Chains A and B, each alone.
Chain A
Amino acid sequence: MSVPSEIEDLLRTLAPQVLAALARRYDDFDVCEDAVQEALLAAAVQWPADGLPANPRGWLMVVASRRRMEMWRGESARRRREEAAFSSMPSDVENLSSTDDSLTLIMMCCHPSLTPVSQVALTLRAVGGLTTAEIARALLVPEATVAQRISRAKRRIKASGAQFRMPPDAERSDRLAAVLGVLYLIFNEGHTASSGASLHRVDLIAEAIRLTRQLHERLPEDGEVAGLLALMLLTDARRPARVTVDGALVPLAEQDRRLWDAGNIREGVALITQTLATAAIGPYQLQAALAAVHDEAPRAEDTDWRQILGLYELLRTIAPGPMVTLNRVVAVAMVHGPDAGLRELAAAGSDPALSGNHRVDAVRAHLLELAGDPVGARRHYRLAARRTLSAPERRYLESRAARLSQEPHA
């Protein structure tokens, strides 16, 4: 099925609005979600053939409401009598898109009773307006698996007794954190896919940025929402230089920076600069600031490593984690020399979260290479290559090891 892109864009914009309006009205989120999905499929078939209806949103609302009612009838004759009271055309069609509704919708999809994979699938369908098939292709899993995740997620939401309204104030910041986590997962899935063959795949990066941008428009004062948007823009800016035509990873230091997307960098830098000056600091903002420092260096050797080290010190304080530890070690090595880095790495390697992690070997190899020990570097590149679960990373690490073997001192 090929739907013209302007119709597809319109449907994806309207999908969450119609779903939110229906769910607020009827409070049976699971049935409403199915009904909207079917209305979208009907529109995707009819609109290209018959032309756009005069009121596309009203059209979807009517079709989804009818479909919802048919589903109820199919389920229970008793309910049929109750439903007969509703007219087919909801009266508030023109008053669908309130700010709270779309926020409520995305928070519902990231409900704490759901696993992250289910939150991702449900958010992409209910908020992103993607079909199950599109999500399956994007996530590289079978359609049946995605369908199962979505229906299970909706059953869990129903079982939890959640109603379609904004969570109470006390829960709101946790729920928003879950939403940001899901959006970042979607972005990273897309970032991942960009290193593989991805001809027929929905662009999850564009989708994650679109949804985060919408969230930022609704919550412009929230520093972490702005931070995440900036982080996505600044990371995605490097996409054209990140992978070679044959799918090999190019490390930051070797990327052709002329290929970086200057527009994304400008927007991301402006956003994070303004946010850091006004909002309470948080991990996404710090990660965006780190990405900005890299993106602003015209050449790798111009990178302001002192500033990067300072940002990792901060990040280590407010959001410690194994990757923060390792990246900080690299920054220490860039500021104070590879031997200082290797000493820090020896201490970091004793962290149980990092034991057996191939990235410790990769960083050690890199630092040994900088320290002028090609034999040790090669050994650790090989060790890291054997332990990684990432195919492009394995190729990269193997090529580093091979390059060291060819050099005269190796």
Chain B
Amino acid sequence: MKYLILIYSNPKSREVWDGFSRDQRAAGLREYEALHESMVASGELIVSEALADPSLAKRVTARDGRTIVTDGPYAEAKEHLAGFFLLECAGMERALEQAARIPEAALGLVEVRPIMALDGWDI
């Protein structure tokens, strides 16, 4: 079963990060690194990425053979997607266990979404 773990960022989480000392930031990054490594080691991690600032987002409209690119509508949004982990693991329970290890979970900014599969039930 595949699960997407979404990590959001909001003014409060940015405030927390901004208030960190250098050592606290380094510790935070190490925590992320350890988490990432353990997910790789267990064979569960498929991919994980951090997203660039939402002000860099573009929205694409392709219509009638023309492509129009506009600035993303997300720049003003208070809460935005900041990164994700794509895992393959035993089930929702395990995905939630992993999600709870993400530092942002302390602020309620982590979401787990099951991925649709191609399997079917013999009905």
Q: Which residues of A are in contact with B by a Cβ distance under 8 Å?
A: 115-118, 121, 141-142, 145, 148-149, 152-153, 188, 191-193, 195-196, 235, 238, 242-243, 249, 251-252, 359, 362, 389-394, 396
A141, B122: Cβ atoms closer than 8 Å: no
The interface-forming segment of B16-24, B53-61, B67-75, B109-117 is B109-117
B118, A392: Cβ atoms closer than 8 Å: yes
A390, B120: Cβ atoms closer than 8 Å: yes
Q: How far is the CA of A251 from the CA of B120 in the complex (A)?
A: 10
For the A-B complex with A188-B119, A192-B119, A391-B118 known, give 20 more contacts whose Cβ atoms are closer than 8 Å: A115-B43, A116-B90, A117-B88, A145-B46, A145-B88, A149-B43, A153-B43, A193-B118, A195-B119, A195-B120, A235-B122, A238-B122, A249-B121, A252-B123, A362-B123, A389-B116, A390-B117, A391-B116, A396-B120, A396-B123
Q: How far is the CA of A238 from the CA of B122 in the complex (A)?
A: 10
A393, B121: Cβ atoms closer than 8 Å: yes
Q: How far is the CA of A145 from the CA of B46 in the complex (A)?
A: 6
A249, B42: Cβ atoms closer than 8 Å: no
In-complex Cβ contact of B43 among A152, A235, A392 (8 A): A152
Smallest CB–CB gap between B97 and chain A, Å?
14
B119, A191: Cβ atoms closer than 8 Å: yes
Query: B77-93 vs A: 1/0 string, CB under 8 Å?
Result: 00000000000101000
Q: Which label, helix, strand, loop or mixed, suits the secondary structure of the B interface?
A: loop
**Is B41 on the interface with A (CB-CB < 8 A)?**
yes
6 contacts between A and B (CB under 8 A): A115-B42, A145-B45, A148-B40, A191-B119, A362-B123, A390-B120
Given contacts A145-B88, A389-B114, A389-B115, contact A249 B120 (CB under 8 A): yes
In-complex Cβ contact of A192 among B42, B43, B44, B120 (8 A): B120
A118, B43: Cβ atoms closer than 8 Å: yes
**Is B26 on the interface with A (CB-CB < 8 A)?**
no
**Is B1 on the interface with A (CB-CB < 8 A)?**
yes
A141, B118: Cβ atoms closer than 8 Å: no
Chain B CB within 10 Å — which of A195, A196, A393 has the most?
Answer: A393
Task: List B contacts of A238 (CB < 8 A).
Answer: 122
Q: How far is the CA of A195 from the CA of B117 in the complex (A)?
A: 10
B115, A249: Cβ atoms closer than 8 Å: no
Given contacts A141-B88, A145-B88, A389-B1, contact A117 B119 (CB under 8 A): no
Task: List B contacts of A117 (CB < 8 A).
Answer: 43-44, 88
A390, B119: Cβ atoms closer than 8 Å: yes
Top-7 shortest CB links A-B: A192-B119, A149-B43, A196-B118, A251-B123, A392-B120, A249-B120, A391-B116
Specify the chain B residue showing the minimal Cβ separation from A291: B122
Smallest CB–CB gap between A127 and chain B, Å?
18
**Is B47 on the interface with A (CB-CB < 8 A)?**
yes
A192, B122: Cβ atoms closer than 8 Å: no
Smallest CB–CB gap between A219 and chain B, Å?
27
Task: List B contacts of A153 (CB < 8 A).
Answer: 43
B123, A195: Cβ atoms closer than 8 Å: no
Task: List B contacts of A149 (CB < 8 A).
Answer: 43
A242, B122: Cβ atoms closer than 8 Å: yes
Smallest CB–CB gap between A341 and chain B, Å?
15
Task: List A contacts of B43 (CB < 8 A).
Answer: 115, 117-118, 121, 145, 148-149, 152-153
Q: How far is the CA of A242 from the CA of B43 in the complex (A)?
A: 32
Task: List B contacts of A249 (CB < 8 A).
Answer: 120-121, 123
Task: List B contacts of A392 (CB < 8 A).
Answer: 118-120
Given contacts A145-B45, A145-B46, contact A192 B123 (CB under 8 A): no
B116, A394: Cβ atoms closer than 8 Å: yes
Smallest CB–CB gap between B120 and chain A, Å?
4
Smallest CB–CB gap between B83 and chain A, Å?
18
Q: How far is the CA of A310 from the CA of B45 in the complex (A)?
A: 43
Task: List A contacts of B123 (CB < 8 A).
Answer: 249, 251-252, 362, 396
Q: How far is the CA of A153 from the CA of B116 in the complex (A)?
A: 27
Q: How far is the CA of A391 from the CA of B115 in the complex (A)?
A: 10
Smallest CB–CB gap between A240 and chain B, Å?
14
Task: List B contacts of A141 (CB < 8 A).
Answer: 46, 88
